[in-house]
Structure 1
Amino acid sequence: MKPGEYTPLPDAGLGALRTGKGNLPLESVEVDARITALTSGVEVAQGFCNPYDVPLEATYIFPLPDRAAVTAFRMEADDRVVEGVLKERGQARQDYDQAIAEGRRAAIAEEERPDVFTMRVGNIIPGERVTVRLTLSQPLPYEDGAATFRFPLVVAPRYIPGTPLDDRSAGDGVAPDTDAVPDASRITPPVLLPGFPDPVRLSLTARVDPAGLDLREMRSSLHVVTQEEGVVRLQPGERLDRDFVLRLDFTASSSLTLVPDRERTAGGEDEHGPGQDGTDGEGTFTLTVLPPAPDDQATRRPRDVALLLDRSGSMTGWKMVAARRAAARIVDTLTSADRFAVLSFDTVVERPETLDAGLVPATDRNRYRAVEHLARLEARGGTEMLQPMEQALGLLGDSGRERVLVLVTDGQVGNEDQILERLGTRLSAVRVHTVGVDRAVNAGFLGRLAGLGSGRCELVESEDRLDEAMEHIHRRIGSPLVTGLSLKPDLLEVLPGTVTHLGSLYSGVPLTVSGRFRGRARGAITVHGLGADGKPWERRLEGTPAEGPARAIWARAHLRRLEDRYAIGDHHLEREIVDTSLRHGVLCRFTAFVAVDTRVVAEGGASHRVVQPVEIPSGWDMSGPPIPMMAAAPVAYTTAAAPAIFSVGRQNDLIAGGPMPVPGGLAGPVGATDAGPFPAPEAMAPRGRLFARSAAAKMAPPAPPVPHSVDLVRPQLVEELARLHARASLPGPERLRYLADLGSRMAALATYVGGENQLSALARELSACERPDADVDALWLRAVTVLTELTGGHGGVPGGPDESGGPGPGAKDRPRGPRPSFWKRSS
């Protein structure tokens, strides 16, 4: 920038500047939500501008709700509207890059995590404004009389473990890719310096239609809002530094809605497909079942509980206080019949000195010692989550008790897929509950963990919310009211393999299940299960034709399930994931929305590139000790603390001040150039480049080939078979209860491995445990026979997975293939 083109802002952060046209590409974010009963449709409009005198490519790493289905994409610029097209991700990137090279406007939206996305808008000409619009649908979680609409507004910094890779980074973020997080550079946007003036105009409106439900109250927990006739608006001046959370007190009811597919007409409008009039079209059903009243007199099985508390640097401030309180409350719920262990972790794992001998009885003395230990914990270090979770699963072992793992964290890690790949099948045999403490929590990852363990995910965005959230967790840690759930359709043809995870019924938490059907939108579904008293339980619901985004919401949940199976090693699902995404028009990790204009507006070739920095999440203390975001070979971060530092091509010299170290990846905005976002250290030193990466680390070898699908769950099957042998002498009622639980676990494992016939058949057979006339001896023998066949009697195969879930002997000798694309995130 030339002298006179900017004005220093001495009170707005060190080195901050203001220009007449602004200094950051993202100008505005507008969120328009329409909440109807327990679903919402949202349109997000992101406005970009080019304050420079050359064409601009802007990159913005932003969050969306992790359960949201992104179904439409549009680019608007200079009286032109370009509709986005959903394509396989590699093809979409190729189309985008070609358009940019030819001087045409283009935009692309890509999913990095279930709740982290990247938007790139290229060839924005000087002085021009471009708006991109995303359309999405999402379900609202409902529990204990309240539904929650949560819309995230900032991607918080995440801890990146592993050794940096020495090839070119996959993205323009501030952290290098590592062997544990091969796409770290795509999920780590630069962070604005403290005190930087509000750079983005935020507008958020939520229009609420109860749709027949009894809406008693609406309340926003983190933002100041206005309410008028069912419309909630964010007050002007709010920043994108925390999630928007709106809670709605509803009276829910059991229901079965049947929504026929809608087909796109030539005119661009939607109309019902053939399923509406009774031909062989398809549709989506959504089943909501309220739990039965809890029986306080029912005997609860003793529990083994492993409590994991994240004490890493990102938990500084109110989050550490809330996490300690949450963990202490969980310890207080234990009874003398339970056993427990408490593990706190950052880069190391610690346990109370007097309670370090495995699981200990939950006596008054032991619970007091655990709470005393928790009270002394302070935030420090990095977030090495894999090791403590492995230790916790090892402690829970194979006891005959109810096994529960509770994780209290903000979830800000980048190696989610590595954790799922290592632990996914083992988590399915343990009840996993997650408590996310943050105002910009990694909800997607915590939800996936809880889903694998059929548990609960509670998000705590403030200390005021803690007590309410912990009441929910206390009830959920207890035994479920109904287990071994199965569906029996009547006059409704449910398509095999389309029903989402059934789970169990818990007090105060309605069960929501969806799936696909073929034919007329009519019929009923009966839900079967086994009550806490050991007696059969069922609920029949008649279907009601309806309209709404049920198909998109189901498709997103189905894709999440496929993606989780891919993450734990089932890589042959890639084609199915892509086909499902394209067929239903819902964005996923292997597809992308791309909008390409036909008009040439620039010369093409290399353009000025800017990565939009994000806010420091509210409640994060960035003025204290550095927060490590890397485990080894960290990035050498420096900054001039001058937000208006973007310049053309390689002229990226610092404008104001001198380089200053920045703790934990804190930085001003980044302007990557045509040389790539991470030049060599020797190239950056003379010009004061903002970021450099270590080149000392070597490429980690690719993963071995994926084994046959049943190998993915063989260690779990070995454990299940051993437990069956150990429990053969239990009384008949207890054996029936155990077989019912086993049936639900087999159904979950069958889902993860793609509907393995023997596992699915065994799960169906064990559903007979719900009936009073069930033959326990015959069912027990059948379970032993099937598991013996699937494990070869012992579960070991040459070169196959070992009982710990590792690669097994001989794995290192297998041939290794090329490293997959960065969006196929298995290193």
Structure 2
Amino acid sequence: MHARETRKPRLFRPRPAPAQPLVWLYLVATLVLALVFALAPARASEFDPEPDPEPEGLQMKIGDEWVATLAMDTTVDMQVRGLLAEVTVRQTYRNDASEWREGRYLLPLPENGAVGALTLRVGDRLIVGEIREKAEAEAIYQAAAASGQRASLVSQNRPNLFQTRVANIGPGEEVEIEVRYWQPVAFRDGAFSLHLPLTLTPRYEGTREAAGLLDPASRPAALPVADEAIVRSGALPPTVALSVEIEPGLPLKSVTSPSHAITVSAEGSTYRATLANLVDASDRDFLLRWEPVPSRAPRSAVFTDTLDGESFAMLMLVPPTLPVAPLPRELILVIDNSGSMSGASMEQAIEAADRALSRLRPGDRFNVVRFDDSFELLFPDAVAAEPGNVARARSFVRSLQAEGGTEMLPALRAALAGRAPAGYLRQVVLATDAAIGNEDELLRLIEAERGESRLFPVGIGSAPNGHFLRKAAEAGRGTQTLVRNVEEVTEVMDGLLAKLDRPAMRDITLAWPGAAEMHPARVPDLYEGEVLQVVARVENLQGTVAVSGLRPQPWTRQLKLSGGSAVPAPGIGRLWARARIDTLEDAMRRGEKESEMRAQIVDTALRHGLVSRYTSLVAVDKTPARPAGEAMGSSQVMNATPEGSLQFAQGSMGWLRELLLALAMALASFLLLRGRA
């Protein structure tokens, strides 16, 4: 049997082999060019990066090398009662080294979660954390660490990112950290949902020029960046075990998760969900949805809480939707094609944008903006949705590739600029994973330059920046949407664009009995399938609250704060405090004096026991654990790389990877030339 020929046939007459000196000239020239590329400054590098960036993986530093030795497991328990979820996150730090260690971990949590409890467990000892001002908590932790005491600290890096630290883990010892928070359950399109971030997409901090608009003192701590590491042991990536117990108060049609395989069981009125694999990689966010039986879908609900003599209420209302003829729209598509979108995220963004373009109607207008560390408008101004223009736009979108940094600000400013003709709804749809570090700067831009536009962020990827997406939708008076995978793009985008045609209610006001402090203070416009959901501190829980709005005719509904459908729910007070802190931070971003806002944030956080940008949770075991004279090393426990992303998808591969790529290019060139010789 003869060997099958697998080489491609020659389609052109072969040229004479180049002389040997010429081969080496080609090789040297290729190598020089490749090295220039490798050593050139990366355009997407972090703003003012640390000289020694934090490592990626489960590692600790020994000498000048990063070695994987510290292992960690995470267990999550969710208890859902109506519209309130109480969530416990337990992390186990295990020291596989032969010396005492300090562990650190960046913990993503829901952007609207109220973090308020910390315990440290070592064997049979249980140490309960206390909320303190940030500097004081840090000083307590450092003193305990230096004196050999076991200690833990939870501090806020950003509203949806918290750093946990634990000191003095002995050789072969395990220490369990338990963080507890409260979170509102979302209700939208007839289904309840709960979202838990399990990893994060590393954030791009922006160029010096862009970041210069933000006071350095108010910038959040820089996030870790990926770096090379030498792995000398078999440490595994972070994993998670997760269980949810739901008492919805009404029969359910289904309990599903679009992000994970789950097992669901029911016992009476209680539903339980666990991961089908029991333990899973924490490389993507967890999303759980439960849908009530259609005839029992709620139209309104009130949950109340009393704490230290103060009364709180959480209100949910589903407004009716009237069929209306859709108005012509001016749709501005803004597509993030930066390096952090590499992999599945870019594919999702392209499919989402293509679907939006395919749904344009005759009479609509549109434009497309793409950005990485530069931006490009497809047309100088919005154009009519004629077949030729739409075909050109779809071809443009299909050609996009993920590369470079995430300079969103200039692209967003260009998208918000201009005015639509009379009679048009101007809608800006932003498809991004929001892997940015200048959230406040971008939100200020949206608030100042939105004009008559409405902004609709579409979160792309397995771990988008939920805090920015939610706040951008609020500032842009729009609504946010998440695309979890390519298979659901059509359904999600069709639903979003259909929703934009049918506003459910605008100019919404609430009249509470007596004085009340409500958050959000300005209720956004609602679209079909969305609900009104607010929390308030009220004088008392008597009487009714009147909700009114335009749909487009005036509409009013009265809801009782006690009796009837009102349900006591401990934890609503904490949700109100978290929302109030959020509002105070918004005011500070808009120019209110930081000293005044800081005092109010600290007061609210201390009274309700919450972590904030100015307060932290600290727990210290009073008994020294590390023998005097023994040194303590430090271990950085990093998050899993988001599913579908590349490990270097921050817009830059890092100099060593680029050098290796350059050498590989040079070797390939040499082999190619030798093959033709």
TM-score range, shorter chain: 0.7 to 0.9
Question: Which residue is equivalent to 1:247?
Answer: 289
Q: Distance in 2 between matches of 1:324 and 1:46?
A: 37
Alpha-carbon contact 2:351-2:486 (below 8 Å) kept? no
Aligned residue number for residue 535 of structure 2: 514
- Match of 1:458? 481
Tell me which amino acid in the other structure corresponds to 1:240. Answer: S
In structure 2, relative to structure 1, the CA distance for the partners of 1:503 and 1:349 (3 Å cut) is same
- Summarize deviations over 1:298-321 as a string: whole Å, max 9, x none: 4x4443332100111222222222
- CA gap of 1:429–1:556, structure 2 versus 1, over 3 A, is farther
What does residue range 201-212 of structure 1 map to in structure 2 within 5 Å?
201-212=239-250
**Paired residue secondary structure (1:154):** coil
Deviation, 1:400, is: 6.9
Could you tell me which of 338, 358, 367 is aligned with 1:341?
367
Task: Calculate the TM-score normalised by the size of structure 1.
Answer: 0.65
Aligned to 1:505: 526
Q: Post-superposition shift, 1:606?
A: 6.0
Judging changes above 3 Å, is the alpha-carbon distance between structure 1 residues 193 and 472 closer, same or farther for their aligned structure 2 residues? farther
1:124 corresponds to which of 164, 169, 172: 169
CA shift digits 1:314-367 (9 cap, x unpaired): 222222222112112223343344332210111111233xxx221222334323
1:629 to 1:164, Cα distance in 2 relative to 1, 3 A: farther
Q: Residue 46 and residue 628 in structure 1: after superposition, are their counterparts in 2 closer, same or farther (change >3 A)?
A: closer
> What's the Cα RMSD here?
3.3
Residue of structure 2 equivalent to 1:387 = 410
Give distance in 2, aligned partners of 1:16 and 1:104: 22
After superposition, residues 671-690 of structure 1 pair within 5 angstroms as none
The number of residue pairs the alignment matches comes to 583
CA–CA separation in structure 1 for the residues paired with 2:175 and 2:464: 29
SS class of match (1:261): strand
Aligned partner of 1:720 in structure 2 is: none
> Would you tell me which structure has more strand in proportion to its own residues?
2
C-alpha contact 2:69 2:235 (8 A) present in aligned 1: no
SS in 2 for 1:395: coil
Distance 1:419 1:545 in 2: 39
Aligned residues of 2:68 and 2:235 also touching (Cα < 8 A): no
Q: 1:694-773 to 2 correspondence within 5 Å?
A: none
What's the CA shift string for 1:215-265, capped at 9, x where partnerless?
A: 1111122222222222211113411111112221125423342513235xx
In structure 1, the partner of 2:621 is 597
Say if 1:320 and 1:422 are closer, same or farther in 2 by CA, change over 3 A.
same
Partner of 2:337 in structure 1? 311
Q: Is the CA contact 1:256–1:542 (under 8 Å) kept in the aligned structure 2? A: no
The DSSP-based 3-state class of the residue aligned with 1:185 is: coil
Which deviations, in whole Å up to 9, do the C-alpha atoms of 1:440-499 show, x marking residues without a partner? 11111111111111211111111233233223311332252221111123xx33424655
Q: Distance in 1 between matches of 2:153 and 2:470?
A: 27
Q: Provide closer, same or farther for how the CA distance between residues 258 and 211 of structure 1 changes in structure 2, counting only shifts above 3 A.
A: closer
Residue 558 of structure 1 is aligned with which of 570, 580, 583? Answer: 580
Are residue 588 (structure 1) and residue 625 (structure 2) matched? no
Distance in 1 (alpha carbons) for counterparts of 2:204 and 2:520? 35
| Unmatched tracts of structure 2, length 5 or more | 1-55, 61-66, 664-677
Query: What residue identity is the alignment partner of 1:524?
Result: T
Q: Is the 8 A contact 2:101 2:632 kept in 1?
A: yes
Q: Per-residue CA shift, 1:618-663, capped at 9, x if unaligned? A: 11134xxx64546xxx975689xxxxxxxxxxxxxxxxxxx97899
Which amino acid is 1:587 matched to?
V
Relative distance call for 1:417 and 1:187 in structure 2 (3 A) is farther
Structure 2 counterpart SS, 1:367: helix
1:493 partner SS? coil
2: CA distance, partners of 1:221 / 1:26:
28
Distance 1:311 1:333, change over 3 A: same
| Alignment CA distance shift 1:375-1:60 (3 Å) | same
Say which of 273, 280, 299 aligns to 1:238. Answer: 280
CA deviation profile, 1:741-785 (whole Å, cap 9, x unmatched): xxxxxxxxxxxxxxxxxxxxxxxxxxxxxxxxxxxxxxxxxxxxx
Q: What's the CA shift string for 1:705-757, capped at 9, x where partnerless?
A: xxxxxxxxxxxxxxxxxxxxxxxxxxxxxxxxxxxxxxxxxxxxxxxxxxxxx
Distance 1:607 1:178 in 2: 35
- Quick one: distance in 1 between partners of 2:58 and 2:323? 64
1:528 counterpart residue number: 548
> Is the CA contact 1:101–1:605 (under 8 Å) kept in the aligned structure 2?
no
Counterparts of 2:458 and 2:57 in 1: how far apart (Å)?
36
Counterpart Cα distance in 2 of 1:15 and 1:594: 24
Alignment of 1:64 with 2:114, yes or no, is no
Give the equivalent residue in structure 2 for 1:806: none
**Cα distance, 1:149 vs. partner?**
1.7
Answer yes or no: is 1:540 the counterpart of 2:558: yes
* Alignment counterpart, residue 284 of structure 1, candidates 312, 325, 343: 312
Residues 274-318 of structure 1 deviation map (CA, whole Å, 9 limit, x = unaligned):
xxxxxxx3221122111213223x4x4443332100111222222
Counterparts of 2:249 and 2:322, CA distance in 1: 28
1:475 to 498, 502, 518: 498
CA contact (8 A) 2:434 2:464 kept: yes
* 1:433 and 2:456 matched: yes
TM-score computed with the length of structure 2 as normaliser: 0.79
CA distance in 1 between partners of 2:143 and 2:59 (Å): 35
Q: Which residue of 2 aligns with 1:610?
A: 635
Whether contact under 8 Å (2:153, 2:618) holds in the other structure is: yes
2:434 alignment partner, one of 393, 399, 411: 411
Q: Residues 305 and 570 of structure 2 are in contact (CA less than 8 Å); yes or no, is this contact kept in structure 1? A: no
Letter in 2 for 1:506: Y
d(CA) in 1 for partners of 2:247, 2:178: 23
Which residue does the alignment assign to 2:668?
none
Runs of 5+ in structure 1 lacking a partner?
1-12, 166-176, 264-280, 640-658, 664-827
> Any idea what SS the aligned residue of 1:449 has?
helix
